[in-house]
C-alpha cells in the first residue's frame, strides 16, 4: 500500500498490453483506437493476476480498464448452477446496466454471458438466468446480498471481484453490504477496487480485502482558465435518435467556413461521414484506422477548401491547426473535461473568435457540468431550431440572394420569359413562382427539417419520469418540476453534487422548504444552494460537494413537510 502509483505507459496499444486477439479485434471493430491512461496503467497488472487499487475520476475509461482483464481471464460456460466466475459491484442500477452492456460488447466474440442484478427488475428472470450459471454478474450491493441470502447466487467459484466507484457505494450506505459480500468470496480471488478519491474508509477496505495491490492513480490534467480560446460555447440537449438531424439543422444555421466534428470512435466517424455526405455536405473522415497518406490527403483538402467538414476522433485530430476552421462540434460529449478543452482549442486561435457546439443526450448533463467546473466557463444550453425557424432562415437567405442578384443586374436575357408570362399572370405571382422554384431546389434533400425534433429542456427544467430521473422520453412525464433558484451566471468555485430527496410535489414540497431545511438544519449558506427541481414524488437539489454528507445526515434526522424522508446522493 505504500508503494508509489504506477505511471501509465504513453505509447501503449491494446495489442501491446497483451489482450487476447479476440478482445483486440472487438475493440477495433467498436472503433477504439488507443488505451486511455487508466487503461494503459491498469491492464498489465490485472492481466498478470495482481490486485489493483485504481484512483481515477468518472469518464477516464475505468469500465474497460477492469472489463477487458476480466474477460481475458474468464472461461465462458464453465460456471455451475447459481455460480459466477466474476462479480462486479456498482453503486446504482444505471451503472449496472451500463457496465453490463459494455462487458457484453467487448466479450461478444468470446461467448461470455453477463447478467446485471439491480432493484426494480422482475426477479423471476434473474432467477432463471442464475439457475444456469453466469460468467459475469454485475450487481448493486443490495441486490447481490439479497440473492446471496436466497441462495440463488453463490460466490464459491468467483475468481475476480471488482468494486467500481467504491466511494459512491460507501456514500450510499453500502459499507456493511460490501463487507458481507466480500467475506463470502474465496481468499485467493483477484480484486480490483476503483474510486475517484481515496478517503480513509476506502483505504481501510483496500487494506482488508486487497492483497499487495498495485496502485494506479490518474490525475486530471490541469486546465488554466487563461488558456481557454475565444470560443462561443453552446450545448443542445437532444435524444440520441435525433442527433444527426439536429447536427444537419445546426450546420445549416451556423454555415461554418469549415468545421471539425468530433466522435468517440472511428466507427461513429465513418457512419456520420456517410450520413453527412448523403445530406449534401462535403465531409471527410479522419481516424486512426487510416494510413498516414490518407490522413495527410484529408487534411490538405480541408486546408485548401476541398472539403467543408472533418469528422474525426480525438486521436486523429491532435495538433491540427487549420486557420479557416470556424466551428468545432462535439457530436458526443467528451468524457473528460480536458478532452473538451483540447477539442474546442482547434478553433478561436490567434485572436479569432470560434464556435463550439456540443450535442448532449439527456443522461449526459453531469458531464457538461463537470466541463463547466473545470474550465470555469458557463456553456449556454440552447433550443434546437424548429421547422419554422429553418424555413424562416432559408427565406432570409433567399431574400439576400435575390437582393444581390437585383443589384448586380445581368439578367436581361431572361426578361423575355417574364414578358411572355406577364400578359397572362400578375408580375408579383410570376416573381413568387420563380422564388418557389428556387426554394424547392434548395430544399431538395432536406427532409430532416420537416421532422420536428423533440424539445428536451436543460437539466434544471426537465420533467420527471418513473424511476426518479429527469429527461425521459417525450410524452412520458410525471408533471413539470418547479424551478428553484435561478441558474448562476457563472459556475461555482466549489465542486457541486446533487442530492435526491424522497418527497416532491405530491407531499407539498416547495423550493423554499428545501432551502430552509438545508440552511437551518445543516447550517449551509443559502447562497451556496444551487438549482432545485421538484418532481411529483421526489426533489433534486444542488449543494457543495464538501457539505453533501453533512446535509444528508442533517436531513435524515429532520422532517420535511412533517415527514421523515429518504435523502441520498443522486446519480442521473
Q: What pLDDT, on a 0 to 100 scale, did the predictor assign at position 318?
A: 64
Burial class of residue 275 in the structure, from the number of CB atoms within 10 Å of its CB (0-12 exposed, 13-18 middle, 19+ buried): middle
Write down the residue that cell numbers 492483497 correspond to.
211
Q: What pLDDT, on a 0 to 100 scale, did the predictor assign at position 461?
A: 39
Q: What pLDDT, on a 0 to 100 scale, did the predictor assign at position 479?
A: 36
Q: What pLDDT, on a 0 to 100 scale, did the predictor assign at position 483?
A: 36
Give the span between the Cα atoms of 394 and 446, in whole angstroms: 11
Q: What pLDDT, on a 0 to 100 scale, did the predictor assign at position 91?
A: 86
Instruction: Say if CB 451 and CB 245 are below 8 A apart.
Output: yes
Give the span between the Cα atoms of 497 and 513, in whole angstroms: 19
What backbone phi and psi angles, to 5 degrees, belong to 498?
-120, 135
Q: Which domains does the chain have, with CATH numbers?
A: 21-217 (3.40.50.300), 225-386 (3.40.50.300), 388-450 (no CATH), 464-569 (3.30.70.330)
Give the span between the Cα atoms of 50 and 67, in whole angstroms: 15
Helices assigned H by DSSP within 31-174: 37-47, 62-73, 93-106, 123-132, 141-150, 166-171
The list of the chain residues with pLDDT below 70 reads 1-11, 57-59, 120, 219-230, 315-319, 321, 348-352, 390, 393-394, 397, 442-452, 454-494, 571-572
Q: What pLDDT, on a 0 to 100 scale, did the predictor assign at position 359?
A: 94
Give the span between the Cα atoms of 175 and 169, in whole angstroms: 7
One-character DSSP codes across 444-507: TT-GGGGSPPPP---TTTPPEETTTEE--STT--S-PPEE-SPPPSS--SS-EEEEEES--GGG
Q: What pLDDT, on a 0 to 100 scale, did the predictor assign at position 398?
A: 73
In this structure, what DSSP letter does residue 144 have? H
Amino acid at each position: 500500500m505504500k508503494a508509489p502509483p504506477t505511471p501509465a505507459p504513453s505509447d501503449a496499444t491494446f495489442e501491446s498490453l497483451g489482450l487476447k486477439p479476440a478482445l483486440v479485434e472487438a475493440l477495433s471493430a467498436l472503433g477504439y483506437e488507443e488505451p486511455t491512461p487508466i487503461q494503459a496503467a491498469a491492464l498489465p497488472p490485472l492481466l498478470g493476476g495482481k490486485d489493483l487499487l485504481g484512483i481515477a475520476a468518472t469518464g477516464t475509461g475505468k469500465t474497460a480498464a477492469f472489463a477487458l482483464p476480466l474477460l481475458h481471464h474468464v472461461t465462458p460456460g464453465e460456471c455451475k448452477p447459481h455460480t459466477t466466475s466474476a462479480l462486479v459491484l456498482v453503486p446504482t442500477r444505471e451503472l449496472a446496466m451500463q457496465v453490463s452492456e459494455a462487458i457484453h460488447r467487448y466479450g461478444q466474440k468470446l461467448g461470455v454471458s453477463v447478467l446485471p442484478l439491480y432493484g426494480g427488475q422482475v426477479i423471476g428472470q434473474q432467477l432463471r438466468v442464475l439457475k444456469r450459471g453466469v460468467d459475469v454478474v454485475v450487481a448493486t450491493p443490495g441486490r447481490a446480498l439479497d440473492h446471496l441470502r436466497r441462495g440463488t447466487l453463490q460466490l464459491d467459484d468467483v475468481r475476480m471481484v471488482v468494486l467500481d466507484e467504491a466511494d459512491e457505494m460507501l456514500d450510499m450506505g453500502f459499507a456493511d453490504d460490501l463487507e458481507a459480500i466480500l467475506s463470502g468470496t474465496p481468499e485467493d480471488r483477484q480484486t480490483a477496487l476503483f474510486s475517484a478519491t481515496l478517503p480513509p474508509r476506502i483505504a481501510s477496505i483496500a487494506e482488508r480485502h486487497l492483497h499487495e495491490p498495485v496502485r494506479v492513480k490518474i490525475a486530471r490534467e490541469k486546465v488554466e482558465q487563461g488558456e481557454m480560446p475565444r470560443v462561443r460555447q453552446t450545448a443542445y440537449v437532444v435524444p440520441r435518435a435525433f442527433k444527426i438531424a439536429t447536427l444537419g439543422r445546426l450546420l445549416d444555421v451556423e454555415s461554418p467556413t469549415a468545421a471539425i466534428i468530433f466522435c468517440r470512435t472511428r466507427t461513429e466517424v465513418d457512419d456520420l461521414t456517410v450520413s453527412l455526405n448523403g445530406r449534401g455536405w462535403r465531409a471527410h473522415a479522419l481516424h486512426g484506422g487510416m494510413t498516414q497518406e490518407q490522413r495527410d490527403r484529408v487534411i490538405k483538402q480541408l486546408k485548401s477548401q476541398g472539403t467543408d467538414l472533418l469528422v474525426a476522433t480525438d486521436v486523429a485530430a491532435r495538433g491540427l491547426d487549420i486557420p479557416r476552421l470556424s466551428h468545432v462540434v462535439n457530436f458526443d460529449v467528451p468524457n473528460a473535461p480536458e478532452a473538451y478543452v483540447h477539442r474546442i482549442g482547434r478553433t478561436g486561435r490567434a485572436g479569432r473568435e470560434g464556435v463550439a457546439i456540443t450535442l448532449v443526450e439527456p443522461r449526459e448533463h453531469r458531464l457538461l457540468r463537470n466541463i463547466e467546473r473545470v474550465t470555469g466557463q458557463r456553456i449556454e444550453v440552447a433550443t434546437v431550431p424548429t421547422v419554422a425557424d429553418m424555413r424562416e432562415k432559408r427565406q432570409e437567405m433567399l431574400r439576400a440572394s435575390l437582393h444581390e442578384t437585383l443589384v448586380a443586374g445581368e439578367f436581361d436575357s431572361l426578361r423575355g420569359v417574364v414578358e411572355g408570362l406577364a400578359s397572362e399572370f400578375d408580375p408579383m405571382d410570376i416573381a413568387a413562382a420563380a422564388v418557389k422554384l428556387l426554394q424547392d431546389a434548395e430544399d431538395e434533400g432536406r427532409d430532416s427539417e420537416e421532422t420536428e425534433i423533440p424539445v428536451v429542456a436543460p437539466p434544471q427544467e426537465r420533467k420527471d419520469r418513473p424511476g426518479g430521473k429527469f429527461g425521459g422520453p417525450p410524452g412520458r412525464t410525471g408533471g413539470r418540476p418547479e424551478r428553484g433558484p435561478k441558474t448562476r451566471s457563472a459556475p461555482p468555485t466549489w465542486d457541486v453534487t446533487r442530492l435526491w430527496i424522497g418527497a416532491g410535489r405530491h407531499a407539498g414540497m416547495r423550493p423554499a422548504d428545501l432551502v430552509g431545511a438545508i440552511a437551518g438544519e445543516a447550517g449551509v449558506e443559502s447562497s451556496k444552494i444551487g438549482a432545485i427541481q421538484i418532481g411529483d414524488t421526489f426533489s433534486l437539489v444542488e449543494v457543495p460537494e464538501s457539505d453533501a454528507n453533512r446535509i444528508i445526515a442533517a436531513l435524515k434526522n429532520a422532517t420535511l413537510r412533517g415527514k421523515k424522508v429518504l435523502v441520498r446522493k443522486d446519480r442521473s
